[in-house]
């Protein structure tokens, strides 16, 4: 019997490793989305930066492959879908490298990025066949507004109109929407459709949605493509709007309305948007996601008051319902989703003092679990974290009335000047009416602290815990 040489054994082991690497699940499709002003572009830039520059004084102690010395390297690779925009990682790092540094420009649509991550397996079957394995990570970046469109799949035009009009008639939206509401209320629903008039009113409605998001900091924006149209800009499929007092329209006349009438055309375009935009996105992309992270800025709604915070709560409820995988859900009827891990991250944790991080996590946890208890989430492993994708402040102490008070210091976004302050106490539970009357917040926006070269690691809070939750089990 001949004895195999060392080189032959190495070759056999390498081939066995390649075969097992293809057999064992070594691929993750990670979806990243965020609600209004949550810092999605900065998050993806930071996540990629941490992996590519691991070893360059990175702080990933809670990411097991790093803490156990098994992480080898990560590099960019050509993305799979060449018809989708490439995520602007280089542009993001260039923004952080400027003097003074600034935030990257936010992405406006869907984009992708692929990483190959090499590591030493420890517990999986791969350890018996190879000394080194590769995990392929595909990251898909898409707007949170697109995720909030999902509930449109399960409602009629009449039901959608009633919900949207109810929102428009409440504070804080009503102040900005009343003039538009009055114009729509004066329309004859069965008059012949005037496409120019519909286009103009749809444009005004889209303008209101932008005000709600950018000026009021609200989270429920629907339809999402109205403010992020992408390739659909100017297309008639985006030219519709909710109709006022649709419940007062004669039911038989409504059902028999021709598409050439005002109400008929609005209904037809709503249905086309639902089928050709919302459903198509989920069939092409959402069905392929394995893991999902949803970023949420809880601090700005607290700053803006009760109505803004209630809007955040409503948006999270809508998102949670989208992930319910029970037998009767809209997702299970339309697709075969396979997401098994869902992470909700409260961003901008560096905008509050360190001892408030526990409260911020608890608050987000309450927002999520209030809905989770009503739904079936047996198939999903869920987690909440308070994070800062890019840490912009320093913690310190200041004296007030003879007592040491925790403070943060950083470059204020509006003035570009360094400020030191105690921004306020984050509630650990969902705020009551009495809470809003008694508490005030000063959660201001900060700029990146110092310039970071492309080969350097961005400072962060808990990005290692993010990586551990989303990738740790795949790199065991």
How do residues 329-343 score in pLDDT, each as one tens digit? Answer: 555 545 555 788 899
Q: Is residue 150 part of a domain?
A: no
Task: State how far the Cα of 160 lies from the Cα of 222, in Å rounded to an integer.
Answer: 10
Same domain, 364 and 399: no
| Residues 84 and 108 occupy one common structural domain | yes
Is 148 inside any structural domain? Answer: no
> Do 320 and 341 lie in a common domain?
yes
CA angle 290, 295, 296 (to 5 degrees): 145
DSSP state of 353: -
Pick the closest to residue 281 from 224, 210, 325, 241 (CA basis).
Answer: 224
Provide the 8-state DSSP code for 432: P
For residue 336, tell me if it sits in a domain. yes
Q: Residue 85: helix, strand or coil by DSSP?
A: strand
Confidence of residue 284 (pLDDT cuts 50, 70, 90): confident
**What span, in angstroms and rounded, lies between the C-alpha atoms of 316 and 306?**
15
* Region 57-77 average pLDDT: 90
Q: Please name the residues in contact with 295: beta carbons below 8 A apart, sequence gap of 6 or more.
A: 32, 33, 34, 35, 38, 39, 40, 43, 144, 345, 347
Tell me whether strands 446-447 and 403-412 are parallel, antiparallel or unpaired: antiparallel
pLDDT of residue 409: 96
Both tokens of 303, joined, read 């700053």
Is residue 1 one of the residues assigned to a domain? no
Residue 98 has phi, psi (to 5 degrees) of -65, 165
- Last residue in a domain, options 284, 300, 334: 284
For residue 393, report the phi and psi dihedrals to the nearest 5 degrees: -125, 165
Name, in order, each residue with C-beta under 8 angstroms of 170's C-beta and a sequence gap of 6 or more: 307
Taking Cα atoms as reference points, which of 347, 344, 325 lies closest to residue 336? 325
Q: Does 401 fall in a domain?
A: yes
Residue 192 counted as domain residue:
yes
> Which residues on neighbouring strands pair with residue 425, listed in sequence order?
none
Please say if the pLDDT value at position 25 is more than 70: no
Burial of 263 (0-12, 13-18, 19+ CB in 10 A): buried
* Under 8 Å between Cβ of 294 and 34: yes
Between 245 and 300, the higher pLDDT residue: 300
Residue 37 and residue 181 in one domain: no
Same domain, 468 and 339: yes
Whether residue 356 is found in the same domain as residue 459: yes
Q: pLDDT band at 251, cuts 50/70/90? A: confident
* 223: in domain: yes
Length of the chain: 476
Q: What is the mean pLDDT of residues 161-166?
A: 95
Q: What is the mean pLDDT of residues 282-305?
A: 89
Residues 208 and 235 in one domain: yes
Cβ–Cβ < 8 Å for 394, 410: yes
Average pLDDT, the chain: 87
Are residues 297 and 431 located together in one domain of the fold? no
CATH number at residue 332: 3.40.50.300
Residue 424 burial (C-beta neighbours within 10 Å; 0-12, 13-18, 19+): middle
Last-in-domain residue among 284, 307, 338: 284
- Residue 233: helix, strand or coil by DSSP? coil
Residues spanned by the domain of 410: 394-447
The Cα 436–Cα 74 span in angstroms is 47
Residue 388 is classified by DSSP as: B
Regarding pTM above 0.75, the answer is yes
CA 421 – CA 432 distance, rounded (Å): 26
Same domain? 318 vs 373: yes
Query: How many domains does one find in the chain?
Result: 3
pLDDT of residue 149: 92
> Are 273 and 298 part of one and the same domain?
no
Residue 319 has a pLDDT of: 86
d(CA 322, CA 314): 13
Identify the bridge partners of residue 403 per DSSP, sorted by sequence position. Answer: 400
| Of 381 and 263, the one with more pLDDT | 263
Of 44, 243, 226, the C-alpha closest to 157 is: 243
CA dist 96 and 104 (Å) reads: 7
Q: Does any domain span residue 363?
A: yes
How much is the pLDDT for 181?
97
Q: How far does the chain reach from its first CA to its final CA, in angstroms?
A: 37
Residue where a domain terminates, one of 284, 317, 344: 284
Question: Do both 169 and 223 map to the same domain?
Answer: yes
The residue-averaged pLDDT of 206-223 equals 93
Indicate whether 107 and 179 sit together in one domain. Answer: no
């Amino acid at each position: 019997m001949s004895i195999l040489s060392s080189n032959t054994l190495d070759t056999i082991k390498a081939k066995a490793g390649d075969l097992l690497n293809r057999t064992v699940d070594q691929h993750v499709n990670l979806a990243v989305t965020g609600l209004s002003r949550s810092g999605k572009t900065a998050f993806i830039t930071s996540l990629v930066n941490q992996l590519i520059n691991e070893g360059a004084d990175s702080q990933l102690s809670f990411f097991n492959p790093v803490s156990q010395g098994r992480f080898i390297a990560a590099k960019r690779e050509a993305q799979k879908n060449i018809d989708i925009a490439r995520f602007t990682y280089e542009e993001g790092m260039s923004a952080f490298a400027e003097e003074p540094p600034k935030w990257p420009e936010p992405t406006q649509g869907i984009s992708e990025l692929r990483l190959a991550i090499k590591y030493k397996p420890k517990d999986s079957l791969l350890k018996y066949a190879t000394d080194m394995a590769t995990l392929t990570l595909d990251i898909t970046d898409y707007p949170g507004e697109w995720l909030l469109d999902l509930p449109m799949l399960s409602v009629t035009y009449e039901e959608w109109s009633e919900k949207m009009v109810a929102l428009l008639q409440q504070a804080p939206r009503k102040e900005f929407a009343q003039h538009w509401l009055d114009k729509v209320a004066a329309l004859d629903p069965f008059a012949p459709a005037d496409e120019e008039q519909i286009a103009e009113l749809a444009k005004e409605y889209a303008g209101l949605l932008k005000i709600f998001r950018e000026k009021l900091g609200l989270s429920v924006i629907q339809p999402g493509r109205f403010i992020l149209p992408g390739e659909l800009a100017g297309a008639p499929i985006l030219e519709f709007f909710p109709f006022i007092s649709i419940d007062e329209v004669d039911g038989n006349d409504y059902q028999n309305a021709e598409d050439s009438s005002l109400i008929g055309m609005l209904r037809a375009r709503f249905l086309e948007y639902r089928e050709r935009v919302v459903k198509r996105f989920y069939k092409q992309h959402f069905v392929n996601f394995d893991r999902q992270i949803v970023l949420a800025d809880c601090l700005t709604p607290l700053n803006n008051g009760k109505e803004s915070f209630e809007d955040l709560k409503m948006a999270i409820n809508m998102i949670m319902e989208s992930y319910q995988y029970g037998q009767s859900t809209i997702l299970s009827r339309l697709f075969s989703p396979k997401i098994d891990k869902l992470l909700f991250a409260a961003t901008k944790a560096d905008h509050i003092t360190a001892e408030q991080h526990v409260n911020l996590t608890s608050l987000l946890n309450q927002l999520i679990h209030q809905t989770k208890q009503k739904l079936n989430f047996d198939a999903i492993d869920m987690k909440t974290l308070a994070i800062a994708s890019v840490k912009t402040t320093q913690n310190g102490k200041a004296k007030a009335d003879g007592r040491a008070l925790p403070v943060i210091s950083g470059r204020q976004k509006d003035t570009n000047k360094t400020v030191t302050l105690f921004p306020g106490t984050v509630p650990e539970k969902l705020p009551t009416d009495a809470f809003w009357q008694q508490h005030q917040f000063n959660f201001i926006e900060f700029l990146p602290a110092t310039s970071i070269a492309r080969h350097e690691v961005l400072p962060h809070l808990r990005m290692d815990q993010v990586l551990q939750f989303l990738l740790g089990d795949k790199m065991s």
